[in-house]
Amino acid sequence: MTEGKLDQILARLDADLPQALDRLLGFLRIPSISTDPAHDGDVRAAAEWLRDELTRIGFDAEIRDTQGHPMVLAKTPQGTERTLLFYGHYDVQPADPLELWDAAPFEPAIEETADGQVIRGRGASDDKGQLMTFVEACRAWKQVHGELPRSLTLLFEGEEESGSPSLVPFLEANRDELSQSLALICDTGMSSDGRPAIATQLRGLVGEEVIIHAADRDLHSGSFGGLAANPLQILCNALAALKDENGRVTLPGFYDGVEELSDDLRRDWDALNFDAEEFLSRVGLKDPAGEKGRLPLEMVWNQPTAEINGISGGYTGDGFKTVLPAQARAKVSFRLTGTQDPEAIRKAFRAHIQAHLPADCRAELHEHGGSPAAVMDTSDPAFEAAKTALSEEWGREAVFIGMGGSIPIAGDFKRELGMDSMLIGFGRDDDRIHSPNEKYDVESFAKGARSWARILDTLR
């Protein structure tokens, strides 16, 4: 595209911003809560809204039914350009507790704040506002060019907030149709210091619940204490032994596949000037925990973890009851990086628990999901091209970042469709996603659309 054409698209986005905001507000009014069967009709209504809007722009758009909520699939004609798949989700989290909202969550509005205008309402940031930045970029492209970008597929899901049970079967059933050279995912945010960012790696996850069984009933600690096995003590001993004095996980083979931070990523992450003490101060802490000798961002983005998420057993009500409980339980999760194998981690954890069991006790173990980390190949020139486009739009150098959590779709695209993903979003740390009073900055919406226009231009 000529520079003049790109300038025309950006100018069109600026001029059409009030109308684009009105369209987003209409989308946000649909309470598409995928976890609540009472809102099944609303979820479908949101899918129909998207299909109709995409058709109006010029996409070949349709609703594809699944065993759960529908997918929205939209395409442009194929050409010689690089094939791209853009993903977002149109379902939202429940709004509870409603009493903590300053206004009705599905009556969205533009608000003036000390930091500028924001779009307030459930789904504003996660993920309706984000996905609409891409749709609006395509709309402006069509208005200037007379046609949409070629070789483009849009996939919008209606179950992301309820675990995406239909997604992998849908990818498997439509592999040939959906496989493209690169995926674009908008369900992320800016770096903590406000720089535009591309997430290039996400940690995986293994969840385990363990229940230690000892005596056939709760025992009086005066009669049995010191003689009978205490499952809480057994469990605590096993969990404490998961880490050594330096904070490293002790499971055999746990670090197989964990890679050290590359020089390029270390440079980008150093540029963020991440202040661990300030970050922790937001939650009433100040001293970094974790493995000794690691940079703070390494520990949340590039190193695996073992965390105790919950532990219970015995009497925990008011007053006091001197018992040895018959059982104790805990929920433990592992965040994975590199090429760590979730099933190998699960097997090692279970062997660790068994090794701490007395002969007359038993362990019951239940798995709660498992997915490997997702690491993108940033040697693909598209990553540097998108980074440059973001830098030009925001006037600050964009950075490659990691993410401590998991976005399963990126791994699903890698495993099922064989393609990497560029995760680019414009959310802010204070957007309050999944919480009352969710918001999305008008600046994020406006410059997000402009950013996608630039990226589409540079990847053509």
134-186 confidence digits (pLDDT tens):
999 999 999 999 999 999 999 999 999 998 999 999 999 999 999 999 999 99
Instruction: Report the alpha-carbon distance of residue 237 to residue 248 in Å, rounded.
Output: 16
Beta-carbon-side half-sphere exposure of residue 129 (alpha carbons within 13 Å): 34
- The letter for the amino acid at 123 is G
| pLDDT of amino acid 94 | 96
327, 348, 371 - which closes a domain: 371
Q: Specify the pairing of strand 84-89 against strand 182-185.
A: parallel
Do 210 and 72 fall into the same domain? no
Do 333 and 454 lie in one domain? The reply is: no
Whether residues 439 and 352 fall in one domain = no
Amino acid letter, residue 441: D
Task: Determine the structural domain holding residue 320 and report its residue range.
Answer: 204-258+304-371
CA distance linking residue 196 with residue 184, whole number of Å: 15
Residues 241-247, mean pLDDT to the nearest whole number: 96
Same domain assignment for residues 346 and 428: no
CATH code for the domain in which residue 328 is found: 3.30.70.360
**What pLDDT was estimated at residue 423?**
96
Angle at 202 between CA 198 and CA 204, to 5 degrees: 170
> How many Cα atoms are found within 13 Å in the side-chain-facing hemisphere of 1?
23
Both 56 and 134 in one domain: the answer is yes
Which residue has tokens 């904070």? Answer: 247
Whether pLDDT at 283 is above 90: no
Peptide bond into 358 cis (omega under 30): no
Residue-level pLDDT at 3: 67
Query: Is position 321 within any domain?
Result: yes
DSSP state of 307: E
Q: What is the pLDDT of residues 385-394, one digit of tens each?
A: 999 999 999 9
CB < 8 Å & 24+ apart, contacts of 265-273: 265/200, 265/302, 265/400, 265/402, 268/399, 268/400, 268/401, 269/295, 269/297, 269/298, 269/301, 269/399, 269/401, 269/402, 271/397, 271/399, 272/191, 272/192, 272/193, 272/195, 272/297, 272/399, 272/401, 273/193
Instruction: List 323's β-bridge partners, or say none.
Output: 220
Q: What's the pTM?
A: 0.85
Tokens describing residue 118: 């924001």
Q: Are residues 366 and 223 in the same domain?
A: yes
Helix or strand or coil: residue 9?
Answer: helix
Give residue 243's pLDDT: 97
Instruction: Quote helix, strand, coil % in the chain, to nearest 5.
Output: 40, 25, 40
Averaged pLDDT of the chain: 95
Answer whether residue 170 is part of any domain.
yes
Rounded-to-integer distance, Cα 422 and Cα 374, Å: 11
> What are 389's two structure tokens?
């486009």
Using alpha carbons only, how large is the chain's radius of gyration in Å? Answer: 25
Alpha-carbon gap, residue 321 to 221, rounded angstroms = 9
The verdict on residue 282 lying in a domain is no
Over range 73-86, report the average pLDDT: 92
Residue 194 sits in a domain of what CATH number? Answer: 3.40.630.10
What's the rounded mean pLDDT across residues 108-125? 97
Residue 289 lies in a domain: no
Total domains in the fold of the chain: 2
| pLDDT of amino acid 405 | 78
pLDDT of residue 457: 95
